[in-house]
Amino acid sequence: MRTDSSASPSRLHPRPTVGVPLSFEVYPPRSAAREAALHETIRHLAAAGPQFISVTFGAGGSVGGRSLDVLRFIRDETAVEPLAHITCVGNTYAAATGLIREFLDAGILNFLALRGDPPEGADEGDSFLGDLQSAAELVQLIDRVQAAQAPYTEAGVPGLPGAAQLQRRLRAEIAVAAFPNGHPRSRHPNEHIDALLAKEAAGATLAITQLFFHADDYLSFVARSREAGVMMPILPGIMPITSPGRLRRVLELTGEERPRALAFALETESTAEGQAEVGIAHAADLAQAVLAGGAPGIHLYAFNEHDTVLAVLREAGIPTHSLQRNAPR
């Protein structure tokens, strides 16, 4: 299986590093009280040396401003690249353009472009979307807005005071979502792979997967995507499932099939500690298996706490490193 990309190097591409390329996802805090705890978590995650930390948008009621606050914290307080999720939901072209500009003005240059899901309580169907109907359209819009905002940069010419030379612009890096087991709303089995191809053609340079429960779900999906012509790296998204309640919620949200062995193991543990151990061991096994199969790195859904995902990495034998550049300031 090929997991490299022939595209030019990108800030988001898993880079050769001391250990396995890592990244984490967090969400904006739901109250001021949780903000300090999230900052502490981000410091711990940053110390593990990830290539980026991504911040969700819209999901669970969060809006752009609250995502941006967290992204600014990552930018200012750690040396890790912040990556902003952004969705099509409810946006006119003008509103989406304004939002993208706001992120760019804040110095955020890495995006995960998403179609988004209907807000809670909204009708199914596409009326919730707005002018942009798919993530591929959003990828194009981000690229266009950034090109208009920063068509080029200038650099001094050594030995020629006052002279400047034009340099190619620093491009926005755009990641997109991928669905190893198909998107729940796909109309035919390959629609999600067609969508991934369209997103890459629109300018995406990295895909991050929805959670999955079996290594082969990811590995066979990558093989099918390569056969279809997808070139960009596909990072496996791994979520430690540490309680039966969390399993129920993620199954509702993602439409994934119930993993019977994991569900049984969680339900037969009577303590929260025992259930957490089951979830950590399952996620660690998954990480080891996808890496053995050629995955270019690991993206962990952190649920705004560091202990669990760092335990997954320890249990999987994946070294984390407090590189000076990533150490908490």
**Which of 52, 57, 73, 218 contacts ligand FAD by CB under 6 A?**
57
Instruction: Please give the Cα distance from 178 to 186 (Å, whole number).
Output: 12
> Please, are residues 70 and 55 in contact by the beta-carbon 8 Å criterion?
yes
Quick one: three-class SS letters along the chain? CCCCCCCCCCCCCCCCCCCCCEEEEECCCCCHHHHHHHHHHHHHHHHCCCCEEEECCCHHHCCHHHHHHHHHHHHHHCCCEEEEEEECCCECHHHHHHHHHHHHHCCCCEEEEECCCCCCCCCCCHHHCECCCCHHHHHHHHHHHHHHHCCEEEEEECCEEEEEEEEECCCCEEEEEECCCCCCCCCCCCHHHHHHHHHHHHCCCEEEECCCCCHHHHHHHHHHHHHHCCCCCEECEECCCCCHHHHHHHHHHHCCCCCHHHHHHHHHCCCHHHHHHHHHHHHHHHHHHHHHCCCCCEEEECCCCHHHHHHHHHHCCCCCCCCHHHCCC
Of 116 and 244, which CB lies nearer to ligand FAD in the complex structure? 116
Taking the complex as a whole, the smallest distance from the CB of residue 253 to ligand FAD amounts, in Å, to 9
Q: Which stretch binds ligand FAD (CB under 6 A): 31-39, 95-103, 182-190, 218-226?
A: 182-190
Taking the complex as a whole, the smallest distance from the CB of residue 225 to ligand FAD amounts, in Å, to 12
Q: With binding defined as CB under 6 A, does residue 181 bind ligand FAD?
A: no
Single-letter amino acid code for the residue at 217:
D
Q: With binding defined as CB under 6 A, does residue 59 bind ligand FAD?
A: yes
Of 14 and 58, which CB lies nearer to ligand FAD in the complex structure? 58
> Please, are residues 169 and 152 in contact by the beta-carbon 8 Å criterion?
yes
Q: With binding defined as CB under 6 A, does residue 192 bind ligand FAD?
A: yes
Q: With binding defined as CB under 6 A, does residue 23 bind ligand FAD?
A: no
Of 133 and 165, which CB lies nearer to ligand FAD in the complex structure? 133
Positions in 238-267 near ligand FAD (CB under 6 A): none
Instruction: Please give the Cα distance from 242 to 280 (Å, whole number).
Output: 7
Q: Which stretch binds ligand FAD (CB under 6 A): 188-196, 221-229, 290-298, 311-319?
A: 188-196
Q: With binding defined as CB under 6 A, does residue 30 bind ligand FAD?
A: no
Q: Which stretch binds ligand FAD (CB under 6 A): 2-10, 76-84, 179-187, 285-293?
A: 179-187
Q: Which two tokens stand for residue 283?
A: 């996620």
Positions in 203-232 near ligand FAD (CB under 6 A): 208, 210
Residues 129-168, one symbol each (x = binds ligand FAD by CB under 6 A, - = not), give: -----xx---------------------------------
Of 256 and 315, which CB lies nearer to ligand FAD in the complex structure? 256
Taking the complex as a whole, the smallest distance from the CB of residue 139 to ligand FAD amounts, in Å, to 9
Q: Which stretch binds ligand FAD (CB under 6 A): 16-24, 166-174, 180-188, 239-247?
A: 180-188
**Which of 13, 115, 282, 306 contacts ligand FAD by CB under 6 A?**
115
Tell me which residues touch ligand FAD (CB under 6 A): 56-59, 85, 87, 112, 114-117, 126, 134-135, 177, 183, 185-187, 191-192, 195, 199, 208, 210, 237
